[in-house]
């Protein structure tokens, strides 16, 4: 059952429903065999973590492991990212300093940011990864309609299975307010491992400072981990994962974009302390 105490359930849902064409959504939902389409993505070796399967997100029973989440995510999200969704997502794209040739978007959901990444870097190989096969079905449908060649992968961002040192850019948009801090830290460690030396990580999410100061914002949606996220500090988490050149800037007060770079080299002392055997070689052209 949806949590009736959220601001979404009490105030926003009835208003935003006026702007959403529910019949169109029902038709879209019926136009896809979600179980069959989801099966095409589902990887039997991917274990769904307890923090994910045990909670409702956005008031949807079953969270992201339902086709309903995939159908309703975009129509709602367009109204809840002030000043508007395009501006907020573009802030993440604008924060990218290099010209990545291989990009991984973690917790890609319905692929809204992933599509923008491919549009910004058409020559790049772009991969979107998510734990929900249903979100991937929706993402692939959007990419097909936009004529964008993107690979969609069912996986856990904590342990993706991709080769170390193989990406120029790893991104995560609107993921970390939905993961417990220890999981966010594990995901950042995985980002560090996956990036080539000199590669970038870009994280778009709720503004931790603002969420701490405006308590009511934490009650907009049913978000089980948002208070833990707000209490944390993404810059510190990036530092702990090993990143350099860390910076976070506000995006219209409510959101933030953080950036970090995998160091080009490590000092002899760091090599000794961390038991690293080789200094990283800068990624060519990066
Ligand atoms: C709020 S949505 C954000 C989706 C998309 N990145 C966006 O910007 O709209 C969070 C997404 O993260 C996914 N997710 C949560 N934990 C994950 C994990 N450990 N590994 C991969 N995906 C995860 C969920 O399935 C969901 O699609």
| Boundaries of domain holding 214 | 1-286
Mutate to test the pocket of ligand 1, among 109, 126, 225 (most ligand atoms within 8 A of CB): 109
CA gap 171, 190 in Å, rounded: 12
Question: How many structural domains comprise the chain?
Answer: 1
Q: What is the CATH number of the domain that holds 5?
A: 3.40.50.150
At residue 56, the pLDDT reads 77
At residue 62, the pLDDT reads 78
Q: Which of 280, 250, 254 is nearest to 267 (CA)?
A: 280
Is the CB–ligand 1 distance for residue 72 below 6 Å? Answer: no
What DSSP string runs through 97-161?
Answer: -S--SEEEEET-TT-HHHHHHHHHSTTSEEEEEES-HHHHHHHHHHHHHHT---EEEE-BTTB--
CA gap 129, 134 in Å, rounded: 12
At residue 244, the pLDDT reads 97
Residues 203 and 234: beta-carbon distance below 8 Å: yes
At residue 16, the pLDDT reads 65
Is the CB–ligand 1 distance for residue 130 below 6 Å? Answer: yes
At residue 76, the pLDDT reads 87
At residue 279, the pLDDT reads 42
At residue 199, the pLDDT reads 98
Helix (H) or strand (E) holding 255: strand 255-261
At residue 177, the pLDDT reads 95
Which residues, given as ranges, of the chain have pLDDT below 50? 1-2, 277-285
pLDDT digits (tens, 9 = 90+) for 204-231: 999 999 999 988 777 767 788 999 999 9
At residue 54, the pLDDT reads 87
Helices (H), the chain: 7, 13-17, 22-30, 34-39, 50-53, 67-77, 85-94, 112-120, 133-146, 181-194, 208-213, 226-231, 234-241, 268-274
Instruction: Find the 188 Cα to ligand 1 centroid distance in Å.
Output: 14
Is the CB–ligand 1 distance for residue 135 below 6 Å? Answer: yes
């Amino acid at each position: 059952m949806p949590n009736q105490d959220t601001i979404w359930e009490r105030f926003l849902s009835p208003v935003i429903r006026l702007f959403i064409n529910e019949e169109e959504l029902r038709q879209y939902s019926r136009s896809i065999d979600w179980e069959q389409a989801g099966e095409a993505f589902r990887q039997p070796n991917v274990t769904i973590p307890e923090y994910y399967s045990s909670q409702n997100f956005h008031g949807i029973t079953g969270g992201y492991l339902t086709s309903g989440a995939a159908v309703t995510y975009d129509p709602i999200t367009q109204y809840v990212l002030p000043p508007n969704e395009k501006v907020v997502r573009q802030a993440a794209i604008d924060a990218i300093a290099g010209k990545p040739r291989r990009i991984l978007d973690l917790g890609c959901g319905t692929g809204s940011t992933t599509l923008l990444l491919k549009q910004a870097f058409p020559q790049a190989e772009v991969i979107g990864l998510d734990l929900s096969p249903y979100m991937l079905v929706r993402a692939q449908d959007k990419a097909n309609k936009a004529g964008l060649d993107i690979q969609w992968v069912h996986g856990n961002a904590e342990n993706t299975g991709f080769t170390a040192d193989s990406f120029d850019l790893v991104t995560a948009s609107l993921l970390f307010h939905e993961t417990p801090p220890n999981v966010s830290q594990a995901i950042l460690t995985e980002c560090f491992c996956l990036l080539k030396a000199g590669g970038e990580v870009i994280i778009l999410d709720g503004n931790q400072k603002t969420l701490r100061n405006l308590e009511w914002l934490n009650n907009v949606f049913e978000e089980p981990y948002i208070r833990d996220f707000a209490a944390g500090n993404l810059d510190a988490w990036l530092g702990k994962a090993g990143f350099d050149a860390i910076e976070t800037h506000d995006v219209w007060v409510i959101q933030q974009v953080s950036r970090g770079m995998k160091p080009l080299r490590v000092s002899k002392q760091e090599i000794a302390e961390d038991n690293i055997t080789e200094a990283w070689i800068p990624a060519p052209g990066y």
